[in-house]
Amino acid sequence: MQPATGHRDQYVLYEPDERPPRAVTILLGFQAATVTISTIVLMPAIVARAAGAGETYLSWSVFAALIVSGLTTMLQATHIGHVGRIGAGYILVMGASGAFIAVCVTALVEGGPAMLATLIVVSSLIQFALSAHLSLLRRIITPTVTGTVIMLSAVTVMPIVFDKLTDVPAGTPPLAAPASAAATLVVIVMLVLRVSGVWRLRVPLMGIVAGCLVASFFGLYDVRRVGAAAWIGVPTGGWPGFDLGSGPVFWSLLPAFVLVTLVTAIKTIGDAVAIQRVSWRKPRAPDFRVVQGAVAAASVGNLLSGLVSTVPNIAYSAGTSITELTGVAARRVGVCIGIVFLAAAFLPKLSALLLAVPNPVVAAYLLVLMSLLLILGMRIIVQDGVDYRKATVVGVSFWVGVGFQNQLIFAEYIGERWLVLLGNGITAGGLTAILLTLFIELTAPRSQRIETALAVADLPKIRAFLEAFAARRGWNVAMADRLCLAAEETLQILIQQGEDEATAKGRRLRLVARSDGASAANLEFVAATSEGNIEDHMAILAERDVTAPLEHEISLRLLRQFTSSVRHQQYHDSDIVTIRIDVLPRERETTA
């Protein structure tokens, strides 16, 4: 068995808990802000202009989006409470979500900014509930689903990237866009392929500087915009308030807001899993308490967005790609990014400086980041194990997302409202992956379960339960014994995790047994929360001297012998260990 964490060290200069030099922190904060701030400004601007909401609301919405993005980015990096009750504790860049454009435009047209504010606040409560009860959806929001959504994130952004590659003011020389984009791309790719160590920190900045220098020769870098901007400024418009009347318009729009909120929450889940995979030198199993904290912080962002009536937040995958590109995962960088967003909201000159970077330069940089993101999504899927079912879910969902993103699938037969909603690849592909996963779950063989105390004294009950389970599936005594031995070692590990059996008194265990046809048994142990991740401990075992195991490692080593895979998901309310035991050919015939 190979644990999901793997054994190869990753190239990480600074882990989340480490403190890089202040100059490095500021440099990386500005680099990340340069790439993402234009999107934060663009999304509310598109919504306001498409809805004809006027310049007063537009300036307020952009200002509010920068404030909310800065606060939630800092919240994700710092987190509140033990193991991220609110906030991930990683670099998760938050910003205005393009997935909400269609529904936000409709809400502004039908009910105005006050109606939009109310809809966003109400739908954010759904996201809070999802964060608190994420463990209940673990069979639906799987690594297959989250990995697919991460891949579709890159696909969804790429049309914008390709448009930006040629997006230059009228009258610009024809070679300006391709030359500045090519300079950025060549410098970044060449340096990424050849440099290492601290030089990796400078790669994005060197690429952006190279692109801007080339752009300046063609007059594409507009310094006048920076000079004309005020040093300090706030919008003249005020808070638009709420529309508390729950009329037919509100109820007709609320389902669409809830649907998009759920899909963007799944996107945040995927990003929270992905950032953990690239933030540590020794790969770790994803901590789903961190994922819950990330979703909770995104919920806070949506709630704040509703309170100030601007486009809701979503985690930007660029933060994960920048972390992988530079090797810096320190939380201080996330705080710095948030501070830059906040400063840009009140300092128009700083905002203009960041926005003055030509679109072809930003697009070339994003091209590299989205390429890394696509591969990262694939890695999340592959590391969880791929069989023909998961391959079907990923393949179908991915291409459905691509098809709807480009309006190539039955566009003429779908109503306009549904088309603008499903026209986002993350929404269409993510929903497809969820529905296919739900179908697999609902049509799977019936499971059997038993609930006992989390104590060695209840092992006879568990053994009798598993022997009956094996007998009903036509497996012989040898297979039944392997199931019982694996269950015993898993129980011992759960008891040992942070507390002994005496202090574990009163804790409960629920054991769910499923068969994967005649080929394997899947046992799921749900217990109260404990410390330490079994997958990580088993990965460490693979690197230790097996000839001299420590006493507490014996159960881990035996569990490796009995199982083909072990997956440990830690939530704030429970620990869930899922083990798979393949059936050997000689174990499929019941003995007399």
What is the pLDDT confidence band of residue 67, given thresholds at 50, 70 and 90? very high
What is the pLDDT confidence band of residue 342, given thresholds at 50, 70 and 90? very high
* pLDDT reported for residue 379: 84
First-to-last alpha carbon distance for the chain, in angstroms, is 32
Q: What is the dihedral of CA 509, 510, 515, 519, to 10 degrees?
A: -20
Q: What is the distance of C-alpha 316 from the center of its chain?
A: 9
- Give the three-class secondary structure for 533: coil
Considering only residues 440 and 419, tell me which one the structure prediction assigns the higher pLDDT: 440
Is 448-587 in CATH node 3.30.565.10? yes
Verdict on whether the full-model pTM lies above 0.85: no
What is the pLDDT confidence band of residue 132, given thresholds at 50, 70 and 90? confident
Which whole-number Å values give the CA distances from 189 to 164, 181, 193, 206, 216, in the listed order? 19, 12, 6, 11, 21
* pLDDT reported for residue 71: 94
Segment 133-147, tens digit of pLDDT: 888 888 888 888 888
- The residue type at 430: G
Contact 284, 10 (CB under 8 A): no
What is the pLDDT confidence band of residue 567, given thresholds at 50, 70 and 90? confident
C-alpha–C-alpha distance, residues 307 and 309, integer Å: 6
Question: What are the structural domain ranges in the chain?
Answer: 22-161+171-441, 448-587
* pLDDT reported for residue 502: 46
Q: Once rounded to an integer, what is the mean pLDDT over residues 341-369?
A: 80
Residues constituting the chain = 592
- The residue type at 248: P
C-alpha–C-alpha distance, residues 265 and 273, integer Å: 12
- Give the three-class secondary structure for 510: strand
Give the HSE-up count for residue 426: Cα atoms under 13 Å, Cβ half-sphere.
32
Judging by DSSP bridges, how do beta strands 93-96 and 520-527 pair with one another? unpaired
Segment 257-268, tens digit of pLDDT: 887 788 788 888
What is the pLDDT confidence band of residue 219, given thresholds at 50, 70 and 90? confident
Handedness of CA 20, 23, 24, 29 (dihedral sign): positive
Q: Once rounded to an integer, what is the mean pLDDT over residues 6-15?
A: 70
CA proximity to 163, closest of 431, 366, 345, 12 = 366
C-alpha–C-alpha distance, residues 196 and 217, integer Å: 31
Which whole-number Å values give the CA distances from 117 to 121, 130, 308, 323, in the listed order? 6, 21, 7, 33
Q: Once rounded to an integer, what is the mean pLDDT over residues 163-167?
A: 82
What is the pLDDT confidence band of residue 235, given thresholds at 50, 70 and 90? confident
CA-only gyration radius of the chain, Å = 26
Average pLDDT, the chain: 80
